[in-house]
Amino acid sequence: MQTDLRGRDLIGDLDFSREEVETVLDVAFDLKRKRALGEPHAYLRDKVLAMLFFFSSTRTRGSFEAGMAQLGGHAAFIESKTTQIAHGDTPKEIGEIFGRYFDGIAIRHVDWGVGNKYLNDVARNSRVPILNMQCEIYHPFQILADLMTIVEKKGRDLRRRKMVVSWAYAASYQKPMSVPQSLVLQMPRFGMDVVLAHPPEFKLMPDIMEQAREQARRYGTGFEVVDDMDKAIQGADIVYAKSWGAMLTTTDQEQGAKIIQKYSSWITDERKMKLAKPDAIYMHPLPADRNVEVTDGVIDSAQSVVYDEAENRMHAQKAVMALTMK
């Protein structure tokens, strides 16, 4: 167990080593047990977390606020548009000043080409940990919750388990690609053979792909990219299918919407799930576009673990906060 996480930032998935992620999981499972038994675990009594949002949220805000309260501390919700950030506060000033007011700063900023730089600029000027609630490149806390859920459902030994990370159709808007990017970075480190499936226009960032391949080489796992959803799901243990934008093809929302419309057949339905193993699980970070991105019959089925996955956001986040903000 690695116990030297105090004061550390978590911005990208590889900021924590595999051993450090295993420590997070151990602590998360312990905190989940304590929560179930009603055992107090106020490890962050009198600590305060700033939660700075540039992008709307349901699960992220709720899980961080509830988690901090259960740890004995407080989470302060700060919406960027209601502050002077909209009128001139710089990342340096936020890091310097919030780093003196708070014991940790969590930020969600998914604007393309802006969010990750903003987090790192704040981190360079903060004396307290910076926690990435999602940027346009990474979504580390979602993936920690996903990994925790997979361990619950499939056991600790995940070697040779086939995990499909697939694009899925959703007409609402060009969603961030941070979830699939974080998945392909993190999951190979834990033994899973990852198959990434997407139409040609929905490629992930080249440097992320190279890092994912390097993790697969390092840990002796498979990493494959295909452009056929059916082919990808064949024999899968885990089906993780969600929409993301064609940001490397076009950042224009109107043009992106036209591209998305070409692939309405990329829906996770009952027929596709039958291509996976009988005990395969379906995962999604939510919210899902029902009967567009995934059918009710899949997301509400016994194979779906989306609500356990959502709950585990809170436990995984509590573990990181307890380890970094103590």
d(CA 166, CA 243): 8
The average pLDDT across 75-86 equals: 88
The average pLDDT across 135-147 equals: 98
Do 86 and 98 lie in one domain? The reply is: yes
Chain-wide mean pLDDT for the chain?
96
Do 155 and 268 lie in one domain? The reply is: yes
Greater confidence (172 vs 206) lies with 206
Quick check: is 6 in a domain? Answer: no
Do 174 and 284 lie in one domain? The reply is: yes
d(CA 286, CA 289): 9
CB atoms within 10 A of CB 38: 6
**pLDDT score recorded for residue 325:** 97
Provide the pLDDT confidence category of residue 326 given band limits of 50, 70 and 90: confident
Q: What angle do CA 122, 126, 130 make, to 5 degrees?
A: 65
**pLDDT score recorded for residue 42:** 98
Q: What percent of the chain has pLDDT over 90?
A: 91
Do 237 and 304 lie in one domain? The reply is: yes
Q: Is it the case that residue 172 has pLDDT exceeding 70? A: no
Do 172 and 304 lie in one domain? The reply is: yes
Do 29 and 128 lie in one domain? The reply is: yes
Question: What would the pLDDT profile of 155-167 be if each residue is shown by its tens digit?
Answer: 999 999 999 999 9
Q: What percent of the chain has pLDDT over 70?
A: 100
The average pLDDT across 79-86 equals: 84
**pLDDT score recorded for residue 19:** 97
What CATH number is associated with residue 223?
A: 3.40.50.1370
Quick check: is 8 in a domain? Answer: no
Q: Is it the case that residue 173 has pLDDT exceeding 90? A: no
d(CA 303, CA 151): 15
Domain encompassing residue 223 = 142-309
Question: Measured between alpha carbons, how far is residue 139 from residues 10, 68, 108, 214, 246 in Å?
Answer: 10, 19, 9, 19, 18
Question: How many domains, the chain?
Answer: 2
Provide the pLDDT confidence category of residue 93 given band limits of 50, 70 and 90: very high
Do 123 and 238 lie in one domain? The reply is: no
d(CA 83, CA 22): 37
Do 133 and 160 lie in one domain? The reply is: no
Do 115 and 152 lie in one domain? The reply is: no
The average pLDDT across 290-312 equals: 98
Do 132 and 172 lie in one domain? The reply is: no
Quick check: is 7 in a domain? Answer: no
Question: What would the pLDDT profile of 2-21 be if each residue is shown by its tens digit?
Answer: 888 999 999 999 999 999 99
Question: What would the pLDDT profile of 207-256 be if each residue is shown by its tens digit?
Answer: 999 999 999 999 999 999 999 999 999 999 999 999 999 999 998 888 98
CB atoms within 10 A of CB 195: 22
Quick check: is 232 in a domain? Answer: yes
